[in-house]
Structure 1
């Protein structure tokens, strides 16, 4: 019966899983998705040139459910952006749901998604997630998106202002109509670039007229012990900064209200100070050169003069979700832009201490 139902018509939702060298994790990911699927769903796994048994592990899960509308697509390695782009080409559902191969789709997610689509027919469904620490479960926490639950949100500012205020810029936390992806310049995700979610997701949401938030944690976002000590490179720093400058370009072209521009600029400040702090993991001369380049890109990514943005963050000019955090970031950005030696020395010491602590705990 399942096989017969799956052959009728196009699916309502396509779940796209990009995977690379994920043989130890991909089966758990797929097994979290497959039991939730009905004839209204399809599953597309894109094996991005894995050199291990990722494809075989995925196919074994599919073979256990012969009536499942699921398929494995293989391509030469091109990075996660290329894998997502291939998934977009292969998907046939009205809505697109991305799940990374090392994460889990939590029980009840697809059923809740189906109900939200049936009731509201929104352009995008946003859902909460878990910041999941599988080796230290006490650190696992729920992250809630900044929208009222189960209510339809309409209008560009109402959708985008909470998005930039909360800065949860994960494509897998937003299930968006495939037609909106198709309407963007192709390829949607810039190949060869990291942080593609930051630049792409805001552009996608700018095309959405309505949004519904599901107030349940739908994705367990795996935090890897190894990723805590990942090598930060100058390219990593610059790519992150360039992604935010692309956001400015998008909204300079499409237009944005004064309030939305301030939210966008504040998000750029948060990302900038995050880049600066991480850059202190680099050798001193290399880090200094990266910070110089990132500073130039950051200033070019702002709609307003930096002092105006930082004043707005410090004085509560907009309804920030965490005013104390805004004040702290504004203060740190002022120090970073002023090339404060005390700030630089404190950041360098702090980064190294944290790195040693994380390595010891890993």
Structure 2
């Protein structure tokens, strides 16, 4: 368990905020952090300018001018995962919190997180979130709060969310495992979060909301390139499958990772349905999709298994349709 004296020797919490093309939102994001109780004396803010070309960084510089515990790092545009990795490399806090620059944190979030760190000191803290501009369907998962639990049990309890914004990670966990974001892909959280959880030794879930998640058009998750979303989700399923294959046979870790393979393939089905037959065929072959889930399908929840079957059906369409065309 962490003690307050050791926590005060360095920032308790590093908030890592990549910035790219968010001039309409970044001011509100920074205000929510800089004005939060506990930020001034217990946290640091690391802003990564990921080659932003609009007025986002002008707003950052205006908001952060003269604030000692704010670091601004500039780099050529490399994408969200690479920007977060840059933030990890510069962080000094005992815990890392990845905050997207079009979102906000809740008013008492830092107080809630630092209190949990001091009392429990877990590898991972999970917490609730609110939405801005819409609502999301939420699947239930482990309803045990404010006590240490096994992260693998947490994973297997239902469908915990994968966005890293809804977790704080001990920097020692990241250093110990060498964990990093895969650069250049969409949905990198669907890979980072389960791999971090399966390697963690302890987790505490808070019942309070600490994060305000904005739903908006024009974000990375919009479907302007569904074929890339499809290809990246398939790659994620393959990496998760490789980690599952290295876990002890039949272990809870292997089963939890196998379920994550299924979740990634179910998401791939969502994007495959929104991709043209030609682009779908170029993004991923039927044999590759079949191979990604062939060993793990018996661990998939029923709805996930149905979506995996639908994915395979969509993948088979180009061959069957193409054979009859002139």
**Which residue of 2 is the match for residue 204 of structure 1?**
196
Structure 1's 114 and 222: CA in aligned 2 closer, same or farther, altered over 3 A? same
SS of the residue corresponding to residue 110 of structure 1 reads: helix
SS at match of 1:97: strand
Corresponding residue for 1:21?
Answer: 21
CA RMSD in angstroms comes to 2.7
Question: What residue is the counterpart of 2:55 in the other structure?
Answer: 53
Q: Hey, what does 2:320 align to over in structure 1?
A: none
Flag structure 1 segments of 5+ consecutive residues without an equivalent: 1-7, 315-325, 343-362
Q: Distance in 2 between matches of 1:101 and 1:173?
A: 14
Which blocks of at least 5 consecutive residues in structure 2 are unaligned? 1-7, 318-326
Within the alignment, does 1:190 sit opposite 2:190 as a pair?
A: no
State the Cα distance separating 1:166 from its structure 2 match.
Answer: 0.5
* Aligned-partner SS, 1:246: helix
Asked if 2 retains the 8 angstrom alpha-carbon contact of 1:27 and 1:57, the reply is yes
Distance 1:298 1:180, change over 3 A: farther
Q: CA deviation at 1:216?
A: 1.2
Shift of 1:110: 0.6
Match of 2:104 in 1: 104
For residues 312 and 153 of structure 2, the distance between their equivalents in structure 1, rounded to whole angstroms, comes to 31
Write the distance in 1 (CA, Å) between the matches of 2:72 and 2:20: 13
Cα distance change on mapping 1:334 and 1:141 into 2, 3 Å = closer
**CA pair 341-250 structure 1, distance change in 2 beyond 3 A:** closer
User: Residue 321 of structure 2 aligns with which residue?
Assistant: none
TM-score by length of 1: 0.76
The residue matched to 2:74 in structure 1 has which SS? strand
**Contact map agreement 1:29 1:104 (CA 8 A) in 2:** yes
Compute the displacement of 1:73 (Å): 1.3
Question: C-alpha separation between the residues in 2 aligned to 1:144 and 1:28?
Answer: 30
Q: Residues 301 and 258 from structure 1, CA distance in 2 versus in 1: closer, same or farther, beyond 3 angstroms?
A: farther
**Higher helix fraction: Structure 1 or Structure 2?**
1
Q: Structure 1 residue 335: deviation in Å?
A: 4.3
Q: Secondary structure at the match of 2:96?
A: strand
Does 1:286 pair with 2:279? yes
Q: TM-score, normalised by structure 2?
A: 0.83
Q: What count of residue pairs does the alignment treat as equivalent? A: 307
Map residues 25-104 of structure 1 onto 2, 5 A cutoff: 25-36=25-36, 37-63=39-65, 66-104=66-104
Contact 1:126 1:145 in 2 (8 A): no
User: Is 1:334 aligned with 2:326?
Assistant: no
Offset, 1:21: 1.6
Structure 1 residue 305 displacement after superposition: 5.5
